[in-house]
Amino acid sequence: MMRRSSSRTAGRMGLLALALSVSAAGAALAAGPAVEPATEPAPRLSREPDREATWASIRPDLFPGKAIAEAGAIVRLDAPERAEDAALVPLTVQLALPPGDPRTLKAVTLVVDENPAPMAGRFTLAEGTRDFSLSLRVRVNSYSFVRAVAETSDGALLMTKSYVKAAGGCSAPATKDTADSIAHVGEMRFRSFAQAGRPEAQVQIRHPNFSGLQIDQWTRGYTPAWFVRAVEVKQGGKLLFAMEGGISISEDPTFRFSYTPSAEQVTVRAEDTDDTVFTQTFPGGGS
């Protein structure tokens, strides 16, 4: 008897709980959906790194105390948005002062922000230069702005930039046989494109241009840095351009530049980090 009474009591209590639950649910439905208190949306964290942070840190060392303005049409920099080979990234800088501007162009500096040695090269131009074109190949170590900063005769600095997606250029192994490169180190070629109707010439210098970040496949250690640090190109004793370079210039440094052929000979002088000097003279018409 006691068991049946307990069972009936428990049954009644269960029915009562179910009824209360259904009643509460109905009241909630009648009242409509619950409204959450208003909250501020969580800020979205950008995954894009601050592309200008490196430039802000290296600029005082490269151009101490100097104001740098936007170049506008005076400086144009052509660079690939995504490089096919990070160790051989083609760049072309075109400089041109507008008519009526009394200044001349003194130099142009190429900077690869994210490279271990950001200044790829500083190119001093001939006295009186008003327009100049220069093409070369550089190494890009990671996604980076590449900048061209021109200096005019009054000391003003004018900059343009281009973002290049490339990685590993400074540590990439040489694309050519190292033994062959060393055997022919210092050999030069000069070519004029006047016959093709282009007022340009090209100088190539055989040199492995080791960056100091490449791994020797045999020893598994780093290959010591060894690169062309200075180049001077003259026509009949007059400077066409001179370069002060670093590890960012690709192997076998090659420069294509504005040039007017003449009977005057062209002399190319290069010096590497071992203090070895290479000099060669070519006919002014090219060879």
pLDDT tens figures, 223-269: 999 999 999 999 999 999 999 999 999 999 999 999 999 999 999 99
> Cβ neighbours of residue 59 under 8 Å, at least 6 residues apart?
68
Tokens read off for 185: 């180190």
* Residues in a beta bridge with 205: 188
User: What's the whole-number average pLDDT of the chain?
Assistant: 86
3-state secondary structure of 18: helix
> Cβ neighbours of residue 244 under 8 Å, at least 6 residues apart?
121, 122, 124, 229, 230
Residue 87 has pLDDT above 80, yes or no: yes
Tokens read off for 146: 């590449």
* pLDDT at residue 285, rounded to an integer: 78
Nearest residue to 146 (alpha-carbon basis) of 173, 165, 132, 174? 165
Dist CA 178 CA 209 (whole Å): 10
Q: What is the mean pLDDT of residues 156-176?
A: 94
**Confidence category of residue 161, pLDDT binned at 50, 70, 90:** very high
State how far the alpha carbon of 52 is from the alpha carbons of 59, 161, 220, in Å.
10, 11, 35
Per-residue pLDDT tens over the stretch 5-45: 333 333 433 433 433 343 444 444 344 444 444 444 444 44
DSSP 218: T
Contact 77, 134 (CB under 8 A): no
3-state secondary structure of 22: helix
Beta strands in 50-184 (DSSP E): 68-70, 75-78, 89-96, 105-112, 119-125, 131-138, 144-152, 157-164
* pLDDT at residue 286, rounded to an integer: 63
Per-residue pLDDT tens over the stretch 38-84: 444 444 444 445 889 999 999 999 999 999 999 999 999 999 999 99
* pLDDT at residue 124, rounded to an integer: 98
Check residues 170 and 45 and name the one with the higher pLDDT: 170
Nearest residue to 149 (alpha-carbon basis) of 215, 221, 63, 82? 63
Contact 142, 164 (CB under 8 A): no
* pLDDT at residue 1, rounded to an integer: 36
**Confidence category of residue 174, pLDDT binned at 50, 70, 90:** confident
Residue 101 has pLDDT above 70, yes or no: yes
Site of tokens 């639950």: 21
**Confidence category of residue 106, pLDDT binned at 50, 70, 90:** very high
> Cβ neighbours of residue 66 under 8 Å, at least 6 residues apart?
157
Residue 209 has pLDDT above 70, yes or no: yes
Dist CA 60 CA 5 (whole Å): 92
**Confidence category of residue 287, pLDDT binned at 50, 70, 90:** low
Residue 279 has pLDDT above 80, yes or no: yes
* pLDDT at residue 177, rounded to an integer: 77
* Residues in a beta bridge with 160: 148
Q: What is the mean pLDDT of residues 76-94?
A: 98
Q: What is the mean pLDDT of residues 183-204?
A: 94
Check residues 127 and 22 and name the one with the higher pLDDT: 127
Site of tokens 């997606």: 165
